[in-house]
Amino acid sequence: MTDHNPALENLLTETRAFAPSEEFAAAANAKGDLYAHAEADRLEFWAEQARRHLTWDTPFTEVLDFSGAPTARWFADGRLNAAYNAVDRHVEAGNGDRTAILFEGEPGDTRTLTYADLQREVSKAANALESLGVATGDRVAIYLPMIPEAVIAMLACARIGAAHSVVFGGFSAEALYSRIIDADATAVITADGGYRRGKPSALKPAVDDALAKGETNVKHVLVVRRTEQDVAWTEGRDVWWHDALGEASAEHAPVAVEAEHPLFILYTSGTTGKPKGILHTTGGYLTQAAYTHWNVFDLKPETDVYWCTADVGWVTGHSYITYGPLINGATQVLYEGTPDTPHQGRWWEIVEKYGVTILYTAPTAIRTCMKWGDDVPAKFDLSSLRLLGSVGEPINPEAWMWYRRVIGGDKAPIVDTWWQTETGAIMISPLPGVTATKPGSAQVPLPGVSVSIWDDAGEAVGPGGGGYLVLDQPWPSMLRGIWGDEQRFSDTYWSRFPGTYFAGDGAKYDADGDIWLLGRVDDVMNISGHRLSTTEIESALVSHEWVAEAAVVGASDDTTGQAVVAFVILRGDAKEKTDEVGEGADVVAALRNHVASEIGPIAKPRSILVVAELPKTRSGKIMRRLLRDVAENRQVGDVTTLADSSVMDLISSGMKGSS
Ligand code: WT7
């Protein structure tokens, strides 16, 4: 392992455990026998889940074909439609009046959509897309705020068999452009804007900018009206969503696609500068999304009110807002805004207002609320909550305990769920009615999932041992590749241990055999549960005319888990140029803004230090480990492999001078 984090090592002394109440255990969807059942015949177990949670147009007869490894085929001779499974079949079963979405806009506007409403809207949107020339097999980019149309747009694509590529609304025009090009999207669905921190925040201008950056194959831009901001309009290309849907029929026959038909592409950061388009297909992905949502969140569709606070721009929003919950017939809250607008109790107000029973959020949000104080949630009635979930990064025991005590009333089980964009759905998590939960540990692989921890040599370690987390058996919702880059797919995941999936995370077993995740072991950072690559930000920095060289590290941060810290060397001629804008602080501000415009505001470095040299080995490799020591105010580690060991003294004194 490249790094070892003393704070995380301390977690392994955690001895508290919280068993579910007898009442919870007795009523739980998943009982303890699920493990034995899956173990008896893993593939048959997954086939049962695929039949139980999905409705197939053509039933499958094959379960897994891994002859084309590392690309798996699951349920390959079956056919189905994702939107039909998420929407229509609930209406056909007589549940058309059940609420699917309880939408809460940031300004306080609300909308309720039943499953029948969703069927109508998704059908209209599917017809509208088809009339704009989008066909089965095409790709559609979606760049929307958290409004019901985001879910409707995804399902409309799925309904016609076009793959969606959702781009988080916080990403820049540049990031949107590169994703449109990479996936060769032929249409974009966006909005005039959304509400953020009490004011309208525009989206359409970024789409216009993206499409002006170069030649694309985008024929149409569908624009949802949300904020009523003025928008520039390209005649012939731009179409209002309400006009297109207004003219469209509310009847649409879902296209039954093969189980391995692409459902979506979602870009995520890797260890190089270029984001990877993670490809997910239909049958296996939906099987595991629905199965995990049912068992990990113990969903009772008639009585639960489920709320996942993620944005649909991330995989959590795909699997645990759009697909898992709707396939399971859930009633869920969809919230547009930030947790502290207009006040810091906004989330808890929403829990009280809708009687939320299941809440799924991220450690960074929990730590932020913790910082705001117990008296904020204390003002609201949170007694409806019966189950809490966490995802995105390791949750520290202190935040876990706070979540349990202050939000969960000391009774709601917490499920700490480990998974990735690539895994498509949850892989490691307690089962809430079975597992005695431990603060800070994701604990055990789900029934049907096989996980191992290997040492450097690829040997499995036992209880108490640590190393690299690997997934040693294929699983239904595994990625089917990196869009357009087969080689990178094998190199990234299947070459560290040939033939076995390497997740990029370090992990340890405690004495009981429970798994503790220890963070990434590669050059990937985790900022507020969002994945960012050091190289991607370095490329953004060096694309600025003042910058000669840049090195980026993730430094630990109390709230966001990690924070971006950059070290830059300015170009020789930058001195005069920077003089035009003024002193050092302005240089830093300009570079931070440059990163925001290249990637998005989430990638803005917390701090940028201008340095004369970077610590390099004799072969020219930047030693990020030493820079992380500086960024985290630690004694700088072993410098003997540096080409010039005095470099670190200069950088360290620069850091002290700047703070
Ligand atoms: C990386 C995946 C899965 C949706 C959100 C992030 C880290 C995720 C946990 C957890 C410890 C976690 C890992 C993983 N991670 N969940 N419960 N405990 N670490 O998806 O952007 O694909 O990032 O997030 O490091 O590799 P992602």
Residues of the chain with CATH 3.30.300.30: 523-657
Residue 394, marked binder: yes
Residue nearest to atom 24 of ligand 1 (CA): 392
Residue 654: the pLDDT is: 75
What spacing in Å lies between the alpha carbon of 14 and ligand 1's midpoint? Answer: 21
Among the residues of 374-496, which ranges form H helices? Answer: 375-378, 397-402, 486-494
Mean pLDDT of 126-130: 98
Does this model's pTM top 0.90? yes
C-beta 520 within 6 A of ligand 1: yes
Residue 73, marked binder: no
Residues of the chain with CATH 3.40.50.12780: 22-507
Q: What is the pLDDT of residues 323-365, one digit of tens each?
A: 999 999 999 999 999 999 999 999 999 999 999 999 999 999 9
C-beta 352 within 6 A of ligand 1: no
Ligand 1 pocket: which of 426, 531, 536 to mutate (most atoms within 8 A of CB):
531
C-beta 503 within 6 A of ligand 1: yes
Q: For the domain covering 22-507, report its CATH number.
A: 3.40.50.12780
Ligand 1 pocket: which of 271, 395, 400, 419 to mutate (most atoms within 8 A of CB):
419
Would you place residue 6 in the very low, low, confident or very high pLDDT band (cuts 50, 70, 90)?
very low
Residue 3: the pLDDT is: 44
Residue 274: the pLDDT is: 86
C-beta 278 within 6 A of ligand 1: no
Strand order in the sheet with 139-143: 238-240, 220-224, 187-191, 139-143, 163-166, 262-268, 276-281, 481-482
What spacing in Å lies between the alpha carbon of 514 and ligand 1's midpoint? Answer: 17
CA torsion sign for 511, 24, 29, 335 is negative
Residue nearest to atom 18 of ligand 1 (CA): 394
Mean pLDDT of 77-95: 98
Secondary structure (3-state) at 502: strand
C-beta 319 within 6 A of ligand 1: no
The DSSP symbol for 100 reads E
CATH topology of domain 523-657: GMP Synthetase; Chain A, domain 3 (3.30.300)
CB 280 within 8 A of CB 479: yes
C-beta 533 within 6 A of ligand 1: no
Mean pLDDT of 619-626: 85
Residue 420, marked binder: yes
Q: Does residue 655 carry a pLDDT above 90?
A: no
Would you place residue 113 in the very low, low, confident or very high pLDDT band (cuts 50, 70, 90)?
very high
Residue 656: the pLDDT is: 66
Average pLDDT, the chain: 94
| Shortest-distance atom of ligand 1 to CA 530 | 21
CB 269 within 8 A of CB 504: no
**The token pair that represents 356 in the structure block:** 């939320």
| Shortest-distance atom of ligand 1 to CA 417 | 17
Higher-confidence residue of 637 and 198: namely 198
Out of 122-136, 163-177, 552-566, 605-619, least confident range: 605-619
CA-CA distance, 363 to 391, in Å (whole number)?
Answer: 7
